[in-house]
Amino acid sequence: HGWYMNSEIGIYPILESYFGIYPWDLTVGKCSLNEMILSGEPSKYARFLNDFTEEEVSQLGIINLIKYAGRLGELKKS
């Protein structure tokens, strides 16, 4: 756990998604948060991509990740 290429990796992004700071459904597949925490059940604090605006994800610094994943259309309309 730590920093890799100016990005935080490890448990902190998972916890931040668990508490609604980052979108819960940003990652997909076997390594997704749903698989890592609570056997697929999001926390009551979890927020999903459609709960965030483009401005919010820009401020969080994850807009390029969402663009790369082709998921901009899932964001909440401002």
Query: What confidence tens digit (pLDDT) does each residue in 9-28 have?
Result: 566 777 788 888 988 887 65
DSSP 41: P
Cβ atoms within 10 Å, residue 41: 9
Distance of alpha carbon 20 from alpha carbon 33, whole angstroms: 12
Coil, helix or strand at residue 60: helix
pTM of the model: 0.70
Q: pLDDT per residue over 20-78, tens digit each? A: 898 888 765 445 555 555 555 677 898 999 999 999 999 999 899 889 889 999 999 97
Using DSSP, state whether 42 is helix, strand or coil: coil
Q: How many CB atoms neighbour CB 47 within 10 A?
A: 19
